[in-house]
């Protein structure tokens, strides 16, 4: 199977690696050679970790690596593809532009998936005109080679057979697949998790418990690998405010960011990337 992945960033290179590890030929497409090189460097690093952990032999790793190629030419990337997964930045116009180009060059029976984390599938698909039914959301998680979930999202016009093929593809990559049947902001995962993190932030602001104790309670009480506050710091609090503002617009006030959270963002306490968020970090990004 030929899998074309558009965008060689954090998610794109991980999805290409995943496909190569499942035995597919993966083609990464990005807009510059530098971006492709960064993507390949990330794949090399990740494959080396798999070998070190004894989860792949050196031969399996080399074979997977040999199955990933890169190009800046979109027509070449999508030619003959069985599956096209788009993982370009989260900008509606950009994604629509990319899908218009894909439609021009991709085989008529290729499966189309967008890895958007919160944009409307229906709006992205509108760029495909009469072919809007071909696109669904294929939401992988970071890092794609480790996280077990693939959340499929149906746009208003997505045909059931497209979801069925996407399910087969996700399972072929070794993922457990869930389906968000309505194109609803936040899908299943981000919508549920945003409420949980907001409630943790409210508890912190009310002085109910310290950040450490809130994170520890959720980690040990519910077997979460990371607490919602520390994970918020890792992903960036500005990104989180942006996400919950969108969710509040769609689902109501329960998603409204707190005043404290807005103040943190205004003060540049964005999490690990600025050295401070709910926790403080040193120059290496380690928690103080």
Ligand X SMILES: NC(=O)c1ccc[n+]([C@@H]2O[C@H](COP(=O)([O-])OP(=O)(O)OC[C@H]3O[C@@H](n4cnc5c(N)ncnc54)[C@H](O)[C@@H]3O)[C@@H](O)[C@H]2O)c1
Give residues in contact with ligand X (CB under 6 A). 6-12, 29-31, 35, 87-90, 94, 98, 115-117, 141-142
Nearer to ligand X, 44 or 212 (CB): 44
- Taking the complex as a whole, how short is the minimal distance between the CB of residue 143 and ligand X, in angstroms? 8
Cis status, amide bond into 143, omega within 30 of 0:
yes
SS3 track for the chain: CEEEEECCCHHHHHHHHHHHHCCCEEEEECCCHHHHHHHHHHHHHHHHHHHHCCCCCHHHHHHHHHCEEEECCHHHHHCCCCEEEECCCCCHHHHHHHHHHHHHHCCCCCEEEECCCCCCHHHHHHHHHHHHHHEEEEEECCCCCCCCEEEEEECCCCCHHHHHHHHHHHHHCCCEEEEECCCCCCCCHHHHHHHHHHHHHHHHHHCCCCHHHHHHHHHHHHCCCCCHHHHHHHHCHHHHHHHHHHHHHHHCHHHCCCHHHHHHHHCCCCEHHHCECCCEECCCCCEC
- Taking the complex as a whole, how short is the minimal distance between the CB of residue 175 and ligand X, in angstroms? 13
- Taking the complex as a whole, how short is the minimal distance between the CB of residue 78 and ligand X, in angstroms? 11
- Taking the complex as a whole, how short is the minimal distance between the CB of residue 191 and ligand X, in angstroms? 14
Nearer to ligand X, 60 or 96 (CB): 96
Rounded CA gap, 163 and 281, in Å?
Answer: 42
Q: Residue with CB nearest ligand X?
A: 9
Rounded CA gap, 108 and 110, in Å?
Answer: 6
Nearer to ligand X, 28 or 261 (CB): 28
Nearer to ligand X, 29 or 204 (CB): 29
- Taking the complex as a whole, how short is the minimal distance between the CB of residue 87 and ligand X, in angstroms? 4
- Taking the complex as a whole, how short is the minimal distance between the CB of residue 94 and ligand X, in angstroms? 6
Nearer to ligand X, 12 or 232 (CB): 12
Nearer to ligand X, 66 or 94 (CB): 94
Rounded CA gap, 112 and 134, in Å?
Answer: 6
Nearer to ligand X, 157 or 190 (CB): 190
Nearer to ligand X, 31 or 267 (CB): 31
- Taking the complex as a whole, how short is the minimal distance between the CB of residue 36 and ligand X, in angstroms? 8
- Taking the complex as a whole, how short is the minimal distance between the CB of residue 182 and ligand X, in angstroms? 19
């Amino acid at each position: 199977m030929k899998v074309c992945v558009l965008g060689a960033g954090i998610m794109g290179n991980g999805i290409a690696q995943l496909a190569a590890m499942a035995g597919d030929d993966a083609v990464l497409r990005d807009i510059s050679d530098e971006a492709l090189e960064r993507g390949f460097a990330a794949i090399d690093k990740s494959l080396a970790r798999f070998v070190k952990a004894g989860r792949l032999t050196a031969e399996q790793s080399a074979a997977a690596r040999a199955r990933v190629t890169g190009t800046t030419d979109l027509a070449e990337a999508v030619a003959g593809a069985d599956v096209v997964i788009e993982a370009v930045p989260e900008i509606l116009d950009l994604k629509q532009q990319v899908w218009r180009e894909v439609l021009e060059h991709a085989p008529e029976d290729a499966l189309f998936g967008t890895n958007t984390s919160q944009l409307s599938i229906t709006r992205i698909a509108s760029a495909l005109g009469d072919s809007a039914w071909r696109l669904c959301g294929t939401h992988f998680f970071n890092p794609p080679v480790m996280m077990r979930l693939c959340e499929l999202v149906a746009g208003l016009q997505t045909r059931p057979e497209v979801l069925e093929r996407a399910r087969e593809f996700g399972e072929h990559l070794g993922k457990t697949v869930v389906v968000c049947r309505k194109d609803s902001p936040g899908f299943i995962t981000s919508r549920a998790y945003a409420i949980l993190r907001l409630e943790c932030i409210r508890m912190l602001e009310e002085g109910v418990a310290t950040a450490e104790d809130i994170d520890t309670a959720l980690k040990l009480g519910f077997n979460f690998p990371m607490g919602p506050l520390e994970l918020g710091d890792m992903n960036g609090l500005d990104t989180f405010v942006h996400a919950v503002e969108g969710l509040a617009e769609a689902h109501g006030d329960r998603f409204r960011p707190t005043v404290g959270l807005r103040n943190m963002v205004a003060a540049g306490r964005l999490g690990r990337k600025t050295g401070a968020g709910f926790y403080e970090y040193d120059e290496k990004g380690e928690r103080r």
